[in-house]
């Protein structure tokens, strides 16, 4: 359905019958998901119930799992209370400015957690991002700000406006609106729709450029007018692109979306021409006589690459202000490494060696919720068929055994287990796979990151045992001075425990997750201090790990101030030690 409930405008240009769609990036190119349902009803029906489709939902009609039963969340001296008032879900926030009651208007997410959007009674009329998140894994509320790697906050924040935050990734907008920064270059005013390759190295960057500047100016003028913004005083793209970005930043709201939530065309691009004439096939490649996107040198622009770039429109996050990335790099470095948290996997996958031939959809079906058993099976030898279609030299069990130095059929012969290590921070306080496909023997993974990736499975091994084994088996050589800088002077130390003691916060989270999965009871005393970590998100990983190890609920509010958490954690540890 088009924005504001009006019929979509006529296509911007005609396409001859048959062939590939000619234009799929401007607002006139979009038909809405309902247009897909008649011909693709089986896929449509499955997708309608999927997490992708339901990324953003109208609270008045949505199924919501979070209980609004009077639970209260504390951050510093401020509180958020989730309750029902006159049959409506509300969130009551008490902060330094007084009491604010918000009526829930939208819910975001639904696979691992639910976030909430609301309007304040007697407030500014805007839809605000509310400060409480409900996490399904723990059946508890958490401060939304602690969904990412930020340090402890002294107060709650609810000033963020939904339409000015990350609305494009959770809903459907014309593709061209995400290209303004690419077309303009440095210096464009900030806006919601940035789809920038700035976090990719030049060899992986796909630059966008204007093919018809006059035609693009007219399209931008139309978009600015649709949003209700001011047209620029001057002509030329250098005037229209900032005006379009400013209009989007100031005026974009739910009425200007192509669709609430992730629609079919958020991934398949505008397909109105296809909906009119099915012989005109849609394209994952953005196509337009106005704008071109060029694959980097040496890349042909395979179907897999275009699919992967569609996924990476949103799954490209180097979260918040957190300083570090994998490969011993920093988020602001010229060449940042991979993201350590969920939602960066689309970008990370493009950094690896398989993204020219393997699409994200080779493992994930965006039309349904991936069954956990299916994903788990991919990390076993049974999942090797995903890789051996291209790596035919590894198609036999014997070849895999010789390559991995692990017994035929054992967990160590699973391609994904080693080449997509399970070390990233997932949304339910468990570890998920790092999508930058590579080898655990890569020098920068060994000498720049903790823990050694082999230790994720061999949690009882020392640094020296792992490193010397890799050197022996694969003919590698690693600098011991560099390793001592990471793990300490004694490389006989356990790699996971040394990471817990000396690692960066995301590395500590990986170690915490490993110890929790191993249910290592000897790790309890070392994990307890992590409950009051500087980064609250890490605290939740520690709490989940301790719950797995001990079977105790570890009923501590780890979102409370660190000093309070530390006292509660010390009391919990003493009580646990006193139990028979």
Q: Are 81 and 92 in contact (CB under 8 A)?
A: yes
- Quote the pLDDT of residue 1: 34
DSSP H or E segment with residue 120:
strand 113-120
Question: Cβ distance 295 to 321 under 8 Å?
Answer: no
Question: Token pair of 67, please?
Answer: 């209980």
For residue 308 the two structure tokens come to: 């992967």
| pLDDT, tens digit, 9 for 90 and up, residues 33-72 | 999 999 999 999 999 999 999 999 999 999 999 999 999 9
Within 8 A by CB and 6+ apart from 185, the residues are none
Helix 480-487 crosses helix 495-502 at what angle (to 10 degrees)?
60
The pair of structure tokens assigned to 357 is: 């031939």
Residue 7 burial (CB count, 10 A): 7
- The pTM assigned to this predicted structure is 0.92
Q: Hey, which residues does 81 pair with through a beta bridge?
A: 72, 92
Distances (CA, A) of 283 to 23, 180, 315, 392: 9, 21, 20, 30
Eight-state DSSP code of residue 161: B
Cis check: omega of the bond before 504, within 30 degrees of 0: no
Residue 321 is predicted with a pLDDT of 77
- As a whole number of angstroms, the distance between CA 351 and CA 570 comes to 43
Query: What pLDDT is stored for residue 16 in this prediction?
Result: 47
Q: Read off the pLDDT of residues 255-311 as tens digits, 9 standing for 90 and up.
A: 999 999 999 999 999 999 999 999 999 999 999 999 999 988 888 889 999 999 999
Q: Tokens 């590939």 appear where?
A: 20
8 Å CB contact between 155 and 76: yes
Q: Which residues of the chain have pLDDT under 70?
A: 1-17, 195-198, 318-320
Helix (H) or strand (E) holding 44: helix 41-48
Q: Are 206 and 294 in contact (CB under 8 A)?
A: yes
How far is the CA of 388 from the CAs of 364, 383, 562, in angstroms?
A: 18, 10, 49
Contact 195, 180 (CB under 8 A): no
What is the pLDDT, as a whole number, of residue 205? 86
Count CB neighbours of 479 within 10 A. 12
CA distance linking residue 163 with residue 170, whole number of Å: 11
CA end-to-end span of the chain: 63
The domain segmentation of the chain, as residue ranges, is 3-39+172-294, 64-168, 450-580
């Amino acid at each position: 359905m088009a924005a504001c409930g009006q019929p979509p405008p006529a296509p911007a240009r005609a396409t001859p019958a048959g062939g590939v769609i000619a234009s799929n990036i401007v607002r006139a190119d979009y038909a809405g998901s309902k247009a897909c349902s008649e011909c693709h009803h089986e896929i449509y029906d499955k997708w309608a119930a999927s997490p992708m489709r339901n990324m953003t939902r109208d609270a008045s009609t949505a199924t919501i799992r979070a209980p609004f039963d009077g639970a209260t969340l504390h951050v510093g001296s401020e509180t958020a209370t989730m309750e029902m008032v006159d049959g409506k879900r509300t969130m009551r926030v008490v902060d330094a400015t007084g009491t604010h009651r918000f009526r829930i208007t939208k819910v975001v997410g639904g696979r691992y957690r639910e976030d909430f959007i609301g309007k304040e009674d007697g407030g500014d009329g805007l839809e605000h991002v509310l400060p409480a998140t409900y996490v399904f894994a723990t059946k508890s509320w958490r401060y939304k700000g602690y969904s990412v790697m930020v340090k402890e906050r002294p107060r709650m924040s609810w000033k963020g406006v939904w339409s000015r935050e990350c609305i494009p990734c959770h809903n459907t907008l014309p593709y061209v609106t995400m290209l303004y920064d690419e077309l303009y270059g440095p210096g464009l005013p900030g806006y919601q729709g940035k789809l920038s390759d700035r976090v990719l190295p030049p060899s992986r960057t796909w630059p966008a450029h204007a093919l018809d500047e006059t035609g693009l100016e007219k399209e931008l003028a139309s978009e600015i007018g649709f949003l209700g913004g001011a047209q620029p005083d001057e002509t030329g793209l250098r005037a229209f692109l900032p005006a379009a970005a400013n209009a989007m930043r100031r005026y974009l709201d739910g009425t200007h979306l192509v669709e609430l939530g992730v629609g079919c065309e958020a991934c398949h691009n505008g397909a109105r021409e296809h909906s009119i004439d099915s012989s005109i096939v849609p394209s994952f490649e953005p196509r337009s006589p106005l704008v071109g996107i060029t694959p980097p040198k040496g890349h042909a622009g395979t179907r897999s690459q275009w699919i992967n770039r569609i996924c990476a429109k949103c799954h490209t996050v180097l979260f918040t202000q957190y300083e570090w990335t994998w490969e011993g790099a920093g988020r602001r470095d010229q060449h940042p490494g991979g993201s350590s948290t969920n939602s960066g996997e689309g970008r990370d996958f493009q950094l690896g060696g398989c993204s020219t031939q393997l699409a994200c959809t080779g493992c994930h079906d965006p039309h349904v919720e991936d069954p956990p058993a299916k994903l788990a099976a991919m990390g076993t030898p049974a999942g090797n068929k995903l890789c051996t279609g291209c790596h035919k030299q590894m198609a036999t069990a014997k070849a895999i055994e010789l390559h991995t130095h692990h017994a035929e059929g054992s967990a160590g012969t699973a391609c994904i287990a080693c080449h997509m290590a399970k070390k990233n921070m997932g949304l339910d306080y468990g570890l998920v796979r790092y999508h930058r496909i590579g080898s655990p023997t890569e020098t920068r993974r060994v000498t720049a990151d903790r823990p050694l990736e082999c230790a994720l499975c061999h949690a009882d091994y020392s640094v020296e045992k792992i490193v010397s084994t890799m050197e022996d088996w694969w003919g590698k050589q690693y600098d011991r001075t560099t390793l001592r800088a990471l793990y300490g002077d004694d490389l006989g130390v356990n790699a996971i425990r040394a990471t817990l003691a000396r690692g960066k916060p995301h590395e500590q989270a990986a170690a915490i997750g490993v110890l929790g999965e191993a249910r290592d009871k000897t790790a309890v005393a070392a994990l307890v201090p992590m409950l009051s970590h500087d980064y609250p998100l890490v605290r939740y990983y520690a709490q989940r790990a301790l719950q797995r190890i001990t079977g105790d609920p570890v009923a501590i509010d780890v979102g409370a101030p660190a000093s309070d958490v530390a006292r509660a954690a010390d009391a919990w540890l003493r009580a646990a030690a006193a139990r028979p």
